[in-house]
């Protein structure tokens, strides 16, 4: 018993109908041009049958297309599918104002697609060594700084800057060369006893544990730093974590993608 299920036309069948109608040809006229009779063209277009291999070049000639267009595949020389050509044709017919809208829509969509391919990255300020300070506004650091790109984590999201530990006064918790995530004051509250913070004392920056009697080191070889009312002591911010350089630092490739996407005009 024959099946009454309707077959889905193949790309070739759909292309025959598309390009025939585009040229304004009747099915009968196209049949004459390729040497077939009866309902052959109708059967091809509806997916009931397909043209044989010998007929394909004749169809391409009659429709003024290539085999790539007939099969609706990208031409390796042109790289435009039938769908892309139709979009290009429609784009060229638009007014300039409407072309501008399309341009910006494509730009926005491309940005969204590119963002999907990039792991979430946050750019922070990395103070390359000690943070300079003096009498005046302690938030104005004079030392050179550079961007540092980190994969997003809860700690990275909270941080405002990064600086490097110099020395062994906070060992064994913090080691010389460690990169510390710091949440700047006043984004964080004033230090509570036991908090680890970054402090400016005179013209030097220290990582210390705050206590009411002064700034403490974890290394017992260092004395507690105590101060009077005339000492220049400023609170930079709270240390909220140590960067794991093998996991937190963004790769060069991801950084290049991030900069390319986010610096786009």
> According to the model, what pLDDT value does residue 144 have?
62
d(CA 177, CA 128): 11
Provide the token pair at 187.
Answer: 């984004």
> According to the model, what pLDDT value does residue 116 have?
73
CB 188 within 8 A of CB 236: no
> According to the model, what pLDDT value does residue 6 have?
54
Quick check: bond before 127 cis, omega within 30? Answer: no
Quick check: bond before 180 cis, omega within 30? Answer: no
Q: Which helix (H) or strand (E) holds 252?
A: helix 252-262
Complete edge-to-edge strand list for the sheet that includes strand 179-184: 145-151, 121-127, 161-164, 179-184, 233-242, 196-201, 204-211, 214-216
Task: Give the chain's residues under pLDDT 70.
Answer: 1-7, 77-79, 115, 117, 128-144, 264-265
Reference 73, options 32, 12, 30, 130; nearest CA is: 12
> According to the model, what pLDDT value does residue 29 have?
93
CB 193 within 8 A of CB 210: yes
> According to the model, what pLDDT value does residue 205 have?
86
> According to the model, what pLDDT value does residue 262 have?
75
Provide the token pair at 135.
Answer: 């009498």
> According to the model, what pLDDT value does residue 131 have?
38
| pLDDT tens digits for range 200-235 | 888 788 999 999 999 999 999 999 999 988 888 889
- List % helix, strand, coil for the chain (3-state, nearest 5): 35, 20, 45
> According to the model, what pLDDT value does residue 3 have?
45
> According to the model, what pLDDT value does residue 138 have?
47
pTM above 0.85?
no
Provide the token pair at 75.
Answer: 């031409």
| pLDDT tens digits for range 72-93 | 887 776 667 778 888 888 998 9
């Amino acid at each position: 018993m024959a099946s009454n299920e309707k077959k889905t036309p193949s790309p070739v069948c759909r292309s025959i109908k598309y390009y025939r109608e585009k040229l304004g040809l009747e099915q009968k006229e196209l049949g004459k041009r390729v040497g077939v009779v009866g309902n052959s063209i109708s059967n091809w277009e509806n997916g009931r049958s397909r043209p044989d291999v010998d007929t394909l070049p004749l169809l391409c000639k009659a429709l003024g297309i290539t085999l790539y267009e007939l099969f609706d595949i990208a031409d390796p020389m042109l790289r435009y599918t039938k769908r892309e050509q139709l979009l290009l044709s429609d784009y060229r017919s638009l007014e300039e104002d409407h072309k501008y809208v399309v341009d910006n829509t494509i730009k926005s969509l491309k940005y969204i697609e590119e963002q999907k391919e990039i792991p979430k990255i946050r750019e922070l300020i990395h103070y390359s060594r000690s943070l300079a300070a003096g009498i005046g506004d302690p938030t104005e650091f004079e030392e050179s700084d550079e961007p540092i790109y980190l994969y997003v984590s809860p700690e990275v999201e909270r941080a405002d800057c990064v600086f490097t530990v110099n020395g062994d006064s906070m060992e064994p918790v913090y080691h010389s060369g460690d990169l510390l995530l710091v949440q700047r004051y006043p984004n964080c509250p004033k230090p509570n006893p036991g908090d680890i913070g970054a402090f400016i004392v005179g013209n030097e920056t220290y990582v210390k544990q705050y206590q009411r009697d002064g700034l403490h080191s974890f290394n017992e070889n260092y004395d507690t730093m105590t101060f009077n009312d005339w000492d220049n002591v400023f609170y930079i911010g709270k240390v909220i974590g140590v960067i794991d350089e093998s996991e937190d630092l963004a790769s060069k490739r991801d950084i290049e993608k991030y900069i390319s996407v986010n610096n786009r005009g």
